[in-house]
Amino acid sequence: MLNKNPAWRYVVVIAMLLICMLYALPNLYPEDPALNISAARGAVVAEQSVTELEQGFAKAGIAVKSLQLQDGKVLARFASTEQQLQARDLAKSVLGSNYITALSLAPATPDWLTAIGATPMKLGLDLRGGVHFLLAVDMQAALDKHLADLVSRFRTDLRQAQIRYLSVKSEPATAHIVINFRQAADMNAAASVLTSQDSQLLIAEGPDKLSLQISLTEQRQREIRNYALEQNITIIRNRVNEIGVAEPVVQRQGADRIVVQLPGVQDTVQAKEILSATATLEFRLVDTDSDLTAALAGRLPANADLYYSTDGRPILLDKRVMLTGDHITDATSGYDEYSQPKVSIKLDTAGGSLMSEASKEAIGRRLASVFIEYKPGNELNTDGTPLLVKQQEVINDATIQMRLGRDFDITGISSPAEAQHLASLLRAGALIAPVQIIEERTIGPSLGKENIELGVTAIQWGLMAVLLFMLVYYKAFGVVANIALGANLILMVGVMSMIPGATLTLPGMAGIVLTVGMAVDANVLIFERIREELAEGRSVQQAIHQGYDRAFATIADSNITTLLVALVLFGVGTGPVKGFAITLAIGIITSIFTAVVGSRLLVNLIWGGRRLQSLPL
Amino acid sequence: MQIFNFSQPINFMRLKWPALLLSALLITGSFASIFSQGINWGLDFTGGTVIEVGLNEGADLTAMRQTLSVAGYPDAVIQLFGSSKDVLIRIPLRPDLEQATVGESVLQALSAELAEPVTLRRVEFVGPSVGEELKQDGGMVMLVALIGILLYVAMRFEWRLSVGAVLSLGHDVVLTLGLFSVLQLEFDLTVLAAILALIGYSINDTIVVFDRLRESFRKLRDATVDETINAAITSTLNRTVITSLTTVLVLLVLFFMGGALIHGFATALLFGIVIGTYSSVYVASAIAEVLGISREDLLPPPPPETETEFS
């Protein structure tokens, strides 16, 4: 007899449903008002601070739902928003300025679900409120700076090789450097010197007589652009982390764009100032001769200033700046020959000669790196925007061992993590390409909530309308289709919660509604086919069997083309459209599965393997 | 229950020339409107700033216009959005304007002048280059999707059907664009997504008909091409109509309950699905027919014996 289900099919279908149900489950739990506390500058929160916090909360009568220390960060959950706000103020006063506290909503997923990696779907900014920025990095500026640096390097190189030249000029418009000579011999000598210095240069005959035209290889230009982009991303990420936003997104988009998403942030003025705030770096010699205690008491020596290091230690530095950070072209962390963490710094040509001059007389003295940043403070301008406060910090000081040149290392760093952090700060000190905001979207929190409600009601009503229609039209088979539709929705939500990159947006919710309407298609195809087979006089069991088998080819072909469109949409679309494409694609795949495998299982279970005269179709 | 129960295939192809003529006219009309009055591109494409503010009482648009005019935005377009308490303010791109700060200054001007509190619901600023790129990218996505479909259908079926399918998709897209142009509805990013979803939906419909067409060609050995196409369309008509109905049902829900942000999306899809259903019945098959599709084109490479009942 036809249409009996092999046992393994039940196992597969039920297992899949259960897994997806499990992973869809976290979406049903509410969110707790929470506080994320992390230490500034990549440090970790100490156990002791956690105890202090707990005591502080207990004293103030703030009921803490839970308080966890994980990966050096604290997550504290509260019962209400008021307590969350109280707790933030308290945490700020208890811990001081070296810690960052951010308000957030932490999903109240039970531990056993978190343990298997089940988390709720990520919501897009249009559903949770917040600011979205798209920044464009000025690549021309990055290339110009590099060319200008090359020009001064060529001059030095040629002078050192004792080759006479008339002029070295950069032409930013065409990204060329042109060198003019008086004699052909000089020109040829210069070409070979420059090639030997840097194999990545393209040297050709220039526009004038006796001139060379030097351009950068495609690869070098790409490297410069990438570096400018990565550097900006590092800087912005650092800054965003400092202001305390829960789950910020700082991501590269395309060749020269950066997406910044700050969920929950409403004050775009502050956000923008942080994005465009400038950070600079200075190298100064440490003044060890003057009296530090006197300076702390307010009697500053004439030629030095009082600074504080990152860990709060006072330090006296020379008034004279030895070198500014815009000469740094690269800073990377690594290990020295004793396997101690170090940071290697590369300077541009001008910076190299300055450093070499200055360090010649300073061997044995300590050199401090001062990080200067303008941050929005607590005081307000007359127009209500926060006043920018200049913050200076000594991020590192080390003894100069020998005369330094264009490349030198900073050693004596306590940990590889600190070396990495220092390198990123040093790179941040010389922003080589400015950014510009080219897109900004702010969604108020009330609008986000409304959008979720609208989406959920639309899904509910849409689902109800379709369920009713199928029931009326196909009766008992309609029930089967409806169960398949319900299963489809569970699978969709489960899969979307499982995929880490999938974000639910308002168009994504529209996609779910649309999928509800389209998902019945596969079942409709099958049922209509079964009707046809019956009309052609086949027995009930043959009709069911043929109906499913024949409809399958159609379902596959028609859905593969739709899937193709969804994939194209995903590949090219951005933001909300991507969210829509994801739900569409997942919906197509799950609807094929529920119709071809799921509904067949049910139909076979109910009507299969028996002698029947007719079907309730 | 069954919507249609035909004992005989309906002669769809009898009307193929009138249908093609109608489609040609509609396409011409759409193009005429697109070229003469253009498309009302939304913020995503034109660039500029859109500010949505919420008020407690009904909004006095005239007063708001005046306030903003004084504040230096005489070109601001102000309209209600969804309800009388929800106001949408559009400020076009101007070279002399520091666009990134428009949102705040508009909000400040309004809160200073209006008696009631103004809450900011959303601010969107899109720079000029972004919008231009989006137009290009959007066109590119559609082109890539259509070429992908062209190749897939040509591979799985036959080139005439493939051309028919892609032309009918183009037909749906152009008519939907035409509707947006004629009614001057705002064309934003969600509408672009809707049109791509429409391509996905419409091709689904068309393939179902084609699939049956292939089967009918193999089964009905003595029928003419017209008769075979009629048989294929008739036997899939129930499915076509039911799927369209359920989809239209959910779209109606989205249209009426999905909120103002999703309105354009629902409008584009509602119209597109009606057009797409028509086009997969008439345009796709009729074009394949006109191009001279024949039974032999759809037989599997080694001619089969008879189609066996059970495989």
Q: Are residues A293 and A401 in the same domain?
A: yes
CATH of the domain at A51: 3.30.70.260
pLDDT at A433 over 50: yes
What the block records as the tokens of A249 is 């997104």
Average pLDDT over residues A11-33: 89
CATH of the domain at A180: 3.30.1360
C-beta separation of A409 from A419 below 8 A: no
Q: Which residue of B has its CA nearest to A257?
A: B130
Sheet of A176-180: strand order equals A167-171, A176-180, A211-216, A201-205
From chain B, the residues in CB contact with A561 under 8 A are 149, 152-153, 200, 203-204, 207
Average pLDDT over residues B78-106: 78
Which 3-state string (H, E, C) describes chain B? Answer: CCCCCCCCCCCHHHHHHHHHHHHHHHHHHHHHHHHHCCCEECHHHHCEEEEEEEECCCCCHHHHHHHHHHCCCCCCEEEEECEEEEEEEEECCCCCCCHHHHHHHHHHHHHHHCCCCEEEEEEEEECHHHHHHHHHHHHHHHHHHHHHHHHHHHHHCCHHHHHHHHHHHHHHHHHHHHHHHHCCCEECHHHHHHHHHHHHHHHHHHHHHHHHHHHHHHHCCCCCHHHHHHHHHHHHHHHHHHHHHHHHHHHHHHHHHCCHHHHHHHHHHHHHHHHHHHHHHCHHHHHHHHCCCCHHHHCCCCCCCCCCCCC
Does some domain include residue A273? Answer: no
Q: Are residues A156 and A51 in the same domain?
A: no
Band of pLDDT at residue A431, cut at 50, 70 and 90: low
Which pLDDT tens digit goes with each residue over A29-83? 888 888 888 776 556 777 888 888 888 888 888 888 888 887 778 888 888 878 8
- Kindly state the DSSP code that residue A537 receives in the 8-state scheme: T
* pLDDT for position B37: 92
Comparing CB atoms, the residue among A441, A446, A524 nearest residue B239 is: A524
Q: Are residues A418 and A306 in the same domain?
A: yes
Band of pLDDT at residue A270, cut at 50, 70 and 90: low
Q: Are residues A22 and A38 in the same domain?
A: no
Q: Identify from A131, A132, A568 which residue to disrupt to test chain B contact, counting B C-beta atoms within 10 A and taking the largest count.
A: A568
pLDDT at B263 over 50: yes
Q: Are residues A474 and A581 in the same domain?
A: yes
Which pLDDT tens digit goes with each residue over A230-256? 878 877 887 777 666 777 888 888 888
CATH of the domain at A323: 3.30.1360.200
Average pLDDT over residues A112-128: 85
Residue ending a domain, choose from A397, A429, A461: A429
Domain boundaries, chain B: 12-41+130-298, 48-126
Which of A345-349, A494-498, B43-47 reaches the highest mean pLDDT?
A494-498
Q: Are residues A570 and A467 in the same domain?
A: yes
Q: Does A138 touch chain B (CB under 8 A)?
A: no
Q: Which residue of A has its CA nearest to B264?
A: A507
Q: Are residues A182 and A217 in the same domain?
A: yes
Q: Are residues A301 and A342 in the same domain?
A: yes
Q: What are residue A324's phi and psi, to 5 degrees?
A: -100, 160
Band of pLDDT at residue B117, cut at 50, 70 and 90: confident
From chain A, the residues in CB contact with B250 under 8 A are 462, 465-466, 513-514, 516-517
pLDDT at A389 over 70: no
Classify B72 in phi/psi space as left (phi over 0), alpha (psi -120 to 50) or beta. left
Q: Does A272 touch chain B (CB under 8 A)?
A: yes
Q: Is A616 helix (H, G, I), strand (E, B) or coil?
A: coil
Across the interface, whether the CB atoms of B251 and A566 are under 8 A apart is answered no
pLDDT at B178 over 90: yes
* pLDDT for position B266: 92
Comparing CB atoms, the residue among A470, A558, A580 nearest residue B204 is: A558
Average pLDDT over residues A542-570: 88
Q: Does A314 touch chain B (CB under 8 A)?
A: no
Across the interface, whether the CB atoms of A511 and B197 are under 8 A apart is answered yes
pLDDT at A595 over 70: yes
Q: Are residues A385 and A467 in the same domain?
A: no
Average pLDDT over residues A181-190: 87
Q: How far apart are CA A163 and CA A186, in angstroms?
A: 6
* pLDDT for position B28: 96
Q: Does A458 touch chain B (CB under 8 A)?
A: yes
Band of pLDDT at residue A216, cut at 50, 70 and 90: confident
Which pLDDT tens digit goes with each residue over A518-545? 888 999 999 999 998 998 889 999 999 9
Q: Are residues A453 and A599 in the same domain?
A: yes
Q: Are residues A353 and A451 in the same domain?
A: no
Residue ending a domain, choose from A200, A222, A244: A222
Average pLDDT over residues B291-296: 84
Domain span at residue A153 reads 139-222
User: A328 - beta bridge partners?
Assistant: A347
From chain B, the residues in CB contact with A526 under 8 A are none
| Beta carbons within 10 angstroms of residue A277's beta carbon | 15
Tell me which of B30 and B93 has the higher pLDDT.
B30
* pLDDT for position A287: 85
Q: How far apart are CA B253 and CA A21, in angstroms?
A: 26
pLDDT at B53 over 50: yes
pLDDT at A400 over 60: yes
Q: How far apart are CA B234 and CA B238, in angstroms?
A: 8
CATH architecture designation of domain B12-41+130-298: Up-down Bundle (1.20)
Comparing CB atoms, the residue among A442, A454, A561 nearest residue B149 is: A561
Band of pLDDT at residue A384, cut at 50, 70 and 90: very low
CATH architecture designation of domain B48-126: 2-Layer Sandwich (3.30)
Place of tokens 């550097």: A231
Does some domain include residue A252? Answer: no
pLDDT at A470 over 70: yes
Does some domain include residue A269? Answer: no
Does some domain include residue A144? Answer: yes
Global pTM reads 0.77
Across the interface, whether the CB atoms of A561 and B200 are under 8 A apart is answered yes
Q: Are residues A144 and A172 in the same domain?
A: yes
Mean confidence (pLDDT) of chain B: 86
Average pLDDT over residues A111-140: 85
Identical topology for domains B12-41+130-298 and B48-126: no
Average pLDDT over residues A328-333: 81
Mean confidence (pLDDT) of chain A: 83
Number of domains in chain A: 4
Average pLDDT over residues A582-594: 91
From chain B, the residues in CB contact with A557 under 8 A are 156, 207, 211
pLDDT at A8 over 70: yes
What the block records as the tokens of B71 is 């504040």
Band of pLDDT at residue B145, cut at 50, 70 and 90: confident
Interface ipTM: 0.86
Distances (CA, A) of B234 to B4, B8, B9, B57, B239: 9, 9, 6, 56, 10
